[in-house]
Structure 1
Amino acid sequence: MNTRKLCVALGLTFAVASAFAESPQEASIRKLIQPRLGDGAAVDSVTKTPYSGLFEVRVGSEIFYTDAQAKYLFVGRILDANTTEDYTKARVDELSKIKFSDLPLESALKTVKGNGKRVIAVFEDPNCGYCKRFRQNLQDVDNVTVYTFLYNILSPDSAVKSKNIWCSADRNKAWDDWMLNNKAAPTAPEACNTPNDKIKALGMKMRITGTPTIFFTDGSRIPGAIDAKGLEAKLASVK
């Protein structure tokens, strides 16, 4: 079976599996594995895979594998021996997808460059050095609409800086001034309301653990400060 057909088969396998309740064997494996993962780690699903009798154990967006008796736990990636395609990464990417239209875009900064036909959403912290690098890279990308969610997770004063920016007369300019030129926004009025808490709760629900995290209209995400060339390539691949 070639790589493309195998990928389709894997997708169908997991799609069908997710549409039904766990089998008795999968439920049994869940019960055996759960105590071995330690406190705070909850098994979300157990699914039989096409990989030599292995079972996928999903904990949040993380994937592990075990055998039919739950005797061994495999931590790592499954690759195609011929093409080196990473099937575990493909599965994690699929699990990490969102419905782009569900994002509360009214609670984001909106910047339109050129015709703005290509659209991304970015979760950023004002104290994030990698976010500032990404902002520099964005200057070389045209014909894009960028929705920026101020996601305050790095420092106690991140929320303060975000409030000052959100409450500025020109939010986009205040954001660019800070991220590109290190020019702080004026102190916001106490009575000014922000979506800070709402966005932080949303980011946690979406399991965003670092900034920047970039989302595309197909629901996929890329964590980290991707360069302009990489962003252009990704945008070209989004249908």
Structure 2
Amino acid sequence: MKIPHTLLAAALALGLSFSAAAQTPDSIKAELKKRFPDLPTESVKKTPYGLYEVIGGGEIFYTDEKASFLIANGQLVDAKTRENVTEARMRQLTAVRFDQLPLDAAIKIVRGNGSRKVALFEDPNCGYCKHFERELATVSDVTVYVFLFPILSPDSAEKSKAVWCSSDRAKAWLDLMLKDTTPTPAGDKCEAPLEKTLAFGREKRITGTPTMFFEDGERVPGAMPRAALEKRLADATAAVAKAAPVAKK
């Protein structure tokens, strides 16, 4: 959520005193709710950098132990490692385990041996999605799960339903995205799981297309070039293999 500048200024100008005893995450959370009643403060956690991380409305904020300020829309970078701490933390917060995805509501496309996995939430009218599908078509040994996510145009749902109700869903989808060939409109007897996918998107705060989820759970909003995609697929495969329990001999 966006914190209005007037609200931030008001909280800073007040200069409210905060008792020395109020230095726990719970007490900081309570104080923030007093000063920023519109901020959905879900959790407060101390960081190694002398600040407290505040999670609210799907965003990360920072404050001190007295809740005397709130850093909104800022990025925390570790000076030693140069790691963007905020970005890394956001990846953790927005990750979704692959086995939690409603794969029964996805179109499955297998290329090569299909050993690597990626899930895509895409709208049939999304130009970025069409460009990314052209990049993805050149990637081998991958299983792609496409979730029809009609959020952009009035006819997005109609096109999505037509794809889902086709005899060959994968072909219908690729023909639409790569060749601009729209499938025959679906009849009333066919039901597509669009509402199920949209509900999942609302729950996981998926707000744009394309949105990708890799096998290690990491979410990537937006398209990416093939080289970056290959690296992310390799990293995800390695992460899953590393996390897998070692079989006893």
The answer to whether residue 101 in structure 2 is matched with residue 115 in structure 1 is no
Q: What displacement does 1:24 show?
A: 6.9
Does the 8 Å contact 2:23/2:66 carry over to 1? no
Paired residue type of 1:133: H
1:67 equivalent among 64, 67, 80:
64
* CA deviation map 1:127-186 (0-9, x unaligned): 111111110110110010000000111122211110011111111111111111111111
Q: What displacement does 1:37 show?
A: 4.2
The answer to whether residue 173 in structure 2 is matched with residue 161 in structure 1 is no
The answer to whether residue 27 in structure 2 is matched with residue 28 in structure 1 is yes
What does residue range 72-221 of structure 1 map to in structure 2 within 5 Å? 72-75=69-72, 76-221=74-219
* CA deviation map 1:17-43 (0-9, x unaligned): xxxxxx97212221222354464x411
Paired residue type of 1:152: P
Q: What displacement does 1:51 show?
A: 0.9
* CA deviation map 1:91-111 (0-9, x unaligned): 111111111112121110000
Q: What's the TM-score, normalizing by structure 1?
A: 0.86
CA distance in 2, matches of 1:48, 1:183: 53
SS at match of 2:68: coil
* CA deviation map 1:27-73 (0-9, x unaligned): 2221222354464x411101111112x11110143100011111101
Moved more, 156-165 or 111-120: 156-165
CA distance in 1, matches of 2:178, 2:146: 15
Paired residue type of 1:72: F
Structure 2 regions of 5+ residues with no counterpart?
1-21, 239-249
SS at match of 1:73: coil
Equivalences, count: 215
What is the root-mean-square deviation in Å for CA atoms of aligned residues?
1.5
Structure 1 regions of 5+ residues with no counterpart?
1-22
1:58 equivalent among 55, 60, 80:
55
The percent of aligned pairs where both chains have the same amino acid is: 50
Q: What's the TM-score, normalizing by structure 2?
A: 0.82
Structure (1 or 2) with the larger CA radius of gyration: 2
CA distance in 1, matches of 2:35, 2:167: 53
SS at match of 1:230: helix
Does the 8 Å contact 2:23/2:65 carry over to 1? no
Paired residue type of 1:57: V
Does the 8 Å contact 2:61/2:70 carry over to 1? yes
CA distance in 1, matches of 2:150, 2:34: 33
